[in-house]
A and B are shown apart, each in its own frame.
Chain A
Amino acid sequence: MNGADVAMALTGTADRAGERVLCRLVRARLPGELLDTWPMSPAARRHLDTCLTCQAQSVRYRGVLRALRSLRDDIEEAPFWLVDRVLASLDVPGRRSSRRAAVAVSAVAASVAVATAVATIRWLRSGSV
């Protein structure tokens, strides 16, 4: 028996406050039940079977799930430029784009130039001492 079941056993169905606690517990468990991820306990299901308010919540929630599923067919139009932009940025399959290669070559060249300059300065300084 888990915490929710204990709460249900303790609160019972005698008074309105107890009913409200049960309703809250059951509504918290509706997603697990309807999504089939964490099914309700027998106690929660018994309450759902008898409580019209929770049944109404369940119906509404099923509507939300149906609306979510219906979004699968709700297609949005892509920007008109998308195809052209994709085609303009294609490179040879399996290779990096020539632009990326150019950037990489430039970076290596710049590093070599800086290293050469530093080495030259050090050499000149050491020669002048």
Chain B
Amino acid sequence: MHLGNDVVEPRVETHEIERLVARAQQGDRDAFGELVYLHQHEVYTLALRLTANPDMAADVAQEAFVRAWRAIPGFRGEAAFATWLHRITVNMAWTHRSRRRRLQAAPLDEAFEIADPRDDPVRAGEMSELRDAVKDALSRLPSGQRAVVVLKDVYGWSHAEVGEALGISVTAAKVRLHRGHARLRHELEGIRERG
């Protein structure tokens, strides 16, 4: 289900988050449960953007929270808790991708066939429609390109941060971003020409 821009997640002050984190670091499950409750939609959304698969996104989100629980004693607060959680989520999504790639005959990044846009009635034009079209086109990108586009363009990470999170060089991150954009443009042009 889509919450949209108008549905606001529970807003909690930063110091309240810090208090919950401190309690969770002492092993307080209830405090960590509150953190999970507060960040569940955000983490799930990031996982969904990266995997383009709701079931896999739920698995990634679950594993990310479990990993965060195990790692929280070592959380030093150098970045915001949400940022730290995002990094773990990206890491888990990447682990899932590797597992899936091992199980598949053709690696996703090499499967570069252009999806047939005729099944999709979305018309680009107004911003909300364009956003839907972009979301749809994003889901058709190879996972490696999608991850870079999502982290760089949607979440505003730097090339260095993207490279570090995905275990690739800055140049490779830039190349993937360009390829991802070229394919996004191709997908969106198909939709526009049909519309």
Give residues in A with beta carbon < 8 Å to B. Answer: 28, 31-32, 35, 37-38, 61, 63-79, 82-83, 85-87, 89-95
Contact = CB atoms under 8 A, between A and B. Distances in A.
A92 B72 CA distance: 11
A67 B1 contact: no
Contact of B177 (A37, A77, A79, A94): A37
A86 B65 contact: yes
Contacts, number: 127
Nearest to B4: A74
Interface of B: 1-5, 7, 9, 25, 27, 29, 32-33, 36-37, 40-45, 48-49, 54, 58, 61-62, 65-66, 69-70, 72-73, 127, 130-131, 133-135, 138, 149, 152-156, 159, 174, 177-178, 181-182, 184-185, 188
Contacts of B49: 71
**Chain A binding surface SS class:** helix
Contact of A75 (B7, B130, B133, B159): B7
B40 A72 contact: no
Contacts of B138: 68, 71
A28 B183 CA distance: 11
Nearest to B38: A83
A17 B138 CA distance: 33
